[in-house]
Structure 1
């Protein structure tokens, strides 16, 4: 049997495992869940950056482009990937997201190579922020809705309920995108994020239907 994962499929696989760990707390103890989730999201984030670079030119994935396609040669670091995405691919990555990705990389390195010590609140913050980045980046720059598969059962709702930092961060990203597209937004009656069109309808984050006509006095 031959086994093959494209970079995008590989990223999705790592992200899927991370989301399952975050949504379903009974899988394991918090320390193990958060550690494995951080590793999964860090792995996915780097692959997503490289996938977008490869769509410009596959050689850009290599630190030294002249060594493409030698698999023994080093591929780009997060810093180099961000720089090339901005300068060559024309992909805007905010300073805030750049800092997030560096912090995620440093956290992953600590877990893999050193001693890891943090608080649950700090772990929730970085994993929630990084997960939001991955989902938004894949949708906007790779045309892949990585969240779709989790909305077919209770996993997405569990994730929003269990990981407040993700709900808050992803809600902000969605709101900014809606406003950029010229939409006025309102607060969802269910998840309490500003992710519903002012005219009502489905929440862009949690999917619940909001009917604001009921709030208008007769």
Structure 2
């Protein structure tokens, strides 16, 4: 698996548009190394199922041939078929076609150079990269020992950060994630991830961190506790969590400010990271700072401060108009007892 991840790092380096423009030569070597990564990583999963499955003809498999690397190994098409039929690995028809097309382009590159437009090849590479990252996350990492897994995750960490800079990868992966999120009806609880900046952090679902459930970004796999998210989504001028973060639904101090939600990717809203609910109309109370919903738009006082303000106004200790409370309303409520 280490060799496969090394090929993936090379692919990312060739397609990373952060440093320089991606050239036809970059795409050429990205495709060659991506195909090598496909072959190595698919075979790694077959090996995890049983070592004989990497042989073109398992009936002729011998340990000696495997250890000396003299075996005739499976093709990509054979590997996909065995992974589906024997290991029950979910590989869609679209993903299989992307892998097959990549193999065809690799063969053309080796014999004739780059014949397809570079951008078209880059898009194909983006499809396969998307598949391979999911494949590594779901099929290979869980089968590694503790030490190997730590090493692989360290490599993947750098790989994921670089992948964000590859436009085709971002587009392919984002489209797939958004399609899945919409199918699940989870657009109203999918927010922008503070790490990768993609609309892929789905609240209300969990991934394990040391045995504890925490939300994970579907794009970069970063995991977030509600308290951690608060540090990225604080109200203007806020230093520490406070009553500003009190959720009106669950009461927890897990309400973030300025959160971008997939269901409305234009405006920022308040969003509770505990109960996974957005509150588009909330504003901070003018007096205590607690979140409040100014239903009629006349004031931004919470219910408690509104009652306090009315009580103060009744006894002349405050100017009622300071709280958006007009003189006519004041006279009616206080029975004309203005002082």
TM superposition score category, shorter chain reference: 0.7 to 0.9
SS where residue 213 of structure 1 aligns? strand
Q: Give ranges in structure 2 of 5+ residues lacking alignment.
A: 142-148, 205-214, 234-255, 259-268, 271-281, 284-339
1:213 corresponds to which of 240, 257, 260: 257
Alignment of 1:61-210 (within 5 A): 61-69=54-62, 70=65, 71-143=69-141, 148-149=154-155, 151-152=157-158, 156-161=160-165, 163-174=166-177, 185-188=189-192, 193-198=198-203, 203-205=217-219
Q: Give ranges in structure 1 of 5+ residues lacking alignment.
A: 1-7
Q: Which residue of 2 aligns with 1:43?
A: 36
Following the alignment from structure 2 to structure 1, what is the Cα–Cα distance between the partners of residues 86 and 200? Answer: 33
Q: How many residues matched?
A: 207
- 1:188·1:196 contact (CA, 8 Å) conserved in 2? yes
- 1:42·1:104 contact (CA, 8 Å) conserved in 2? yes
Provide the aligned C-alpha RMSD in A. Answer: 3.3
Give the TM-score of the pair, scaled to structure 1.
Answer: 0.78
Q: Which residue of 1 aligns with 2:250?
A: none
- 2:4·2:36 contact (CA, 8 Å) conserved in 1? yes
Give 1 or 2: higher strand fraction: 2
Following the alignment from structure 2 to structure 1, what is the Cα–Cα distance between the partners of residues 25 and 106? Answer: 14
Q: Which has the higher contact order (CA 8 A, sep 6+)?
A: 1
Gap change, CA 1:183 and 1:140, over 3 Å in 2: farther
Gap change, CA 1:187 and 1:121, over 3 Å in 2: farther
SS where residue 195 of structure 1 aligns? strand
Give the TM-score of the pair, scaled to structure 2.
Answer: 0.52
- 1:168·1:193 contact (CA, 8 Å) conserved in 2? no
Give 1 or 2: higher helix fraction: 1
